[in-house]
Structure 1
Amino acid sequence: MEPVSIIFISCLVLGLVVGLLAGMLGIGGGLIIVPILSYLLIHFAGMTIDNVMPVAVATSLSTIIFTGLSSASAHYRLGNMNGTIVGYTGLGIAMGAVIGAQLASYMSGAWLKNIFAAFVIVIALQMLFGKQKASGNNASPIMLASIGAVTGVVCALMGIGGGALLVPALVWFNIDIRRAIGCAAFGGLIVAIFGTVSFVIAGWNVPDLPPGSVGYVFVPATLGIVATSVFTASIGAKVGQKVNTKVLKAILACLLVVVSIKMIAGLE
């Protein structure tokens, strides 16, 4: 079987898992997609650690375009989006996503791998021990744009939607949790669009990318993940109503830490 076919089929399975976890726990799929896709590309497409990370991150972001559109639409219909918050934060996210994607494309694969792993460990610890608190301070438009810019840079570097970063930051500034989640849903869509386009441009003439790549985006993997995750996300949401998600989050957080340590030690 051709390597591209093996990766595509593997991504169909990966999409099943990503969709379930996203639906049950509300986490972004990039935390799981990036390390697994990196492994697949190294072992089946002959890529090296020096060039695999931008492809894995860019491809992860491209999948968020589809899931982010669905999520943002749902929150808009529920009235969870405040125009001022979404506007200023979204502007910062768009600029940050472009900058982050460009940084990732110029950064060495080893550095990007280690930065991703370190951020995943931080997010995992937040999942285990973090609590959403308000500070008593209100965010100015400049602060909202700054929060968005930092979120956009980090998300484009990691290939994630950003809810784990954006929601706690907005809640800290006394923004209602539902509006914070709605803003994060819209922000995930923005970072996915701007980050993906930036990665496509940055990788347009890069040699030695696997067949089926558009810039740094590996289209077969995108299609495989999206094809199944859109169905299992709704199933995961229903399952999440019936199981102890705190236990599942703790297990997943521990797994993410193990995966991150493995990434730092070496993917090959």
Structure 2
Amino acid sequence: FCFKILNFPAEHIMHMAIGTSLSIILVTVTNSMYAHHLNKNIDWNISKKMFFAIVIGALAGGFVSKDLAAKTLEIIFSVYVTLVSIKMLMDVKVERDPKATKDVFYWTVGFIIGFKSTILGIGGGTISIPFLTWRGLPMKKAVGISASLGIPIAMAGVASYIYNGMKISNLPEYSMGYIYLPALVGVVLTSSFFARIGAKLSHNLDQQKLKKAFAIFLMLIALKIFIG
């Protein structure tokens, strides 16, 4: 939306939006992960099992996305956030006992998370959190692990979008590949601070109400993309 206002080349807007988004995620998720680590909400054994598969998936997603048209990326993104928001609105909290999970299951889900995240330019929480809670982990642990998984997603994604964008000649000034540096700096200056606040608030606020509010926000974003 902002890049359209700035009259960036239409064929590169979505690629730049995704690349810049991933670079912002890399900074903010580091702050969030640290806060969750201090609160002992990260099971590092699970995070380590998914790390390598996420990196492979993220690199694959980054190289696939360079061949997708901007409009195709917009449609994929809007459909995805619509489905996620509907699921979040309809989700009913059910307590489950922890389940034993084979490593290959973690690897498969990790690859899917990495691949999806770099194509859509978002963190992996929309897949990792439902998956981890389904396997019986408490919500706070699932959120904490998801924060730790955001780092390999963003690192691999950023590397892909920088590399692929370096070959493009008509990108805006102050771009590093598909990453627009002024947007990165501007957002990071505020979001890094609020990421830690958000991690602390997640311990005190009603999770279901927050989930539904976020779902409505996602629907509004998808609607805006659909209507142009």
Q: Where does 1:49-198 land on structure 2 (aligned, <5 Å)? A: 50-131=11-92, 133=94, 134=96, 137-198=99-160
Q: Where does 1:38-53 land on structure 2 (aligned, <5 Å)? A: 39-48=1-10, 50-53=11-14
Query: Match of 1:106, SS?
Result: coil
Distance 1:136 1:71, change over 3 A: closer
Distance 1:42 1:147, change over 3 A: same
Cα RMSD after superposing both structures: 2.5
Equivalent-residue separation in structure 1 for 2:99 and 2:197 (angstroms): 38
Q: Deviations over 1:233-259 (max 9, x none)?
A: 455567778876755643442342233
Equivalent-residue separation in structure 2 for 1:91 and 1:247 (angstroms): 34
Q: How many residues align?
A: 227
Q: Deviations over 1:68-102 (max 9, x none)?
A: 11122223333333343111211111111111111
Question: Displacement, 1:118?
Answer: 0.8
Question: Displacement, 1:191?
Answer: 0.4
TM-score (norm 1): 0.76
Question: Displacement, 1:64?
Answer: 0.9
Letter in 2 for 1:140: K
Aligned position for 1:8: none
Equivalent-residue separation in structure 2 for 1:218 and 1:120 (angstroms): 23
Equivalent-residue separation in structure 2 for 1:212 and 1:255 (angstroms): 30
Aligned position for 1:259: 221
2:163 matches 1:209 = no
Query: Match of 2:49, SS?
Result: helix
Query: Is there any run of 5+ residues in structure 1 with no aligned partner, and where?
Result: 1-38
Q: Where does 1:21-36 land on structure 2 (aligned, <5 Å)? A: none
Query: Match of 2:66, SS?
Result: helix
User: Retained in 2: the 8 A contact 1:155–1:162?
Assistant: yes
Question: Displacement, 1:130?
Answer: 1.8
Query: Is there any run of 5+ residues in structure 2 with no aligned partner, and where?
Result: none
Distance 1:234 1:70, change over 3 A: closer
Which of 181, 184, 188 is the matching residue for 1:219? 181
Equivalent-residue separation in structure 1 for 2:47 and 2:129 (angstroms): 12
Equivalent-residue separation in structure 2 for 1:126 and 1:40 (angstroms): 28
User: Retained in 2: the 8 A contact 1:132–1:171?
Assistant: no
Equivalent-residue separation in structure 2 for 1:57 and 1:131 (angstroms): 31
Equivalent-residue separation in structure 2 for 1:209 and 1:183 (angstroms): 36
Distance 1:201 1:123, change over 3 A: same
Letter in 1 for 2:22: L
User: Retained in 1: the 8 A contact 2:88–2:212?
Assistant: yes
TM-score (norm 2): 0.88
Q: Deviations over 1:194-224 (max 9, x none)?
A: 1111111111111211111111111110100
